[in-house]
Structures are given as C-alpha cells and as structure tokens.
Amino acid sequence: MSPRPKNNRTVFDPPKFKGYKPFGYYAGENEPVFLFFEEYAALKLCDYELMTQSQASQVMNISRPTFTRLYESARRKIALALAEARPIEVEKGRAYFSNDWYNCRACNIFFTAPGIELSSVRCPLCQSKNLEEITTN
C-alpha cells in the first residue's frame, strides 16, 4: 500500500451508496450536491458512531480545526440537499483509505483483501471478478 500522502484524510470504509435521490414534489429536477468521502466519514464518526470531534479527528489523522470544517461542510451540504430537494452524489475528494476496498458488481458486497495481489482478487462470496476498486489510493 502506498504511503499516506500529506494533507489527506484517513477514511475507513467507503460509503455503501453512490448517492441519494429525493422523491416526490421537485425530485430529480435539480443539480446534485457533491459530498466528499471524507465529509461523509466525518459525519458518520460523530453522528452515527457517536465519537467526540477530538476522537474523530485522531481517527482521520487530521487536526481538530480541519475536522470541524469537514464536519460543518458535510452538515451544510446535506441540509442544502434536503432544503432544495437536490440529489446527493458522493465523490472521492481527498480521502486516503486505510485499506483497499472492493465492491462486487455481481452480489453487491464490499470487502478488503489483505495480502492478496490485485490480479487474483475475487469476490469471497460469489467468486466474481467483476469488481470495482473503490478506494485505491
């Protein structure tokens, strides 16, 4: 695995979606809001895993003020998407993944493959080689 580049934010698992779409009323008529992987990660650590901002900033290997900016920006983007009925699309941004994650396009699971060479990675459940490398750094 390549070394962690400077100024990047360590993210553990990738989001299990490529985006969200509103339904009803003005659904589908508006420009998407782009949410970065690291913004999603900041929000998940604080508001789903219930870490403090200080714990979460350590996990992501960034300073506390940088973490606070990411977290605020995640919340504002999601509020914007909700308030204006805009879809959300996730983008890689400056996330550095602690692990390479794969998504199996055949059965839709996510997995890591420690110690396995890229060319011989297969889905551990359905054996498919139709994989998306989500988080190659």
Partner 1 sequence: MKTAIAAQNSSSETLIDKHFGKCSYFHIYDDESQTTEVIDNPARGIKGCKGDVIVNELIAKNVNAVIAGDFGTKVQQLLNQGQIQMIIHPDTRVSVSEIIELLNHKNK
Q: Which does 114 bind (CB under 5 to 8 A by kind): Zn ion, partner 1, none?
A: partner 1
Residue span binding partner 1 (CB under 8 A) among the ranges 22-30, 66-74, 76-84, 118-126? 118-126
CB atoms within 10 A of CB 44: 17
DSSP 24: S
DSSP 133: E
Binders of partner 1 among residues 49 to 108 (CB under 8 A) are 49, 51, 59, 98-99, 108
SS3 91: strand
Separation of alpha carbons 102 and 124, rounded Å: 11
Q: Taking CA 125 as the corner, what is the angle to CA 123 and CA 131, rounded to the nearest 5 degrees?
A: 20
Residue selected from 124, 131, 134, 137 as contacting partner 1 according to rule CB under 8 A: 124
Binders of partner 1 among residues 24 to 53 (CB under 8 A) are 45, 49, 51
Q: Which does 106 bind (CB under 5 to 8 A by kind): Zn ion, partner 1, none?
A: Zn ion
Nearer to partner 1, 41 or 88 (CB): 41
Q: CA 109 → CA 18, 100, 123, 129, distances in Å?
A: 14, 14, 8, 13
| Shortest reach from residue 113's CB to Zn ion, in Å | 12
Interface contacts to partner 1, rule CB under 8 A? 12-13, 16, 45, 49, 51, 59, 98-99, 108-115, 124-127
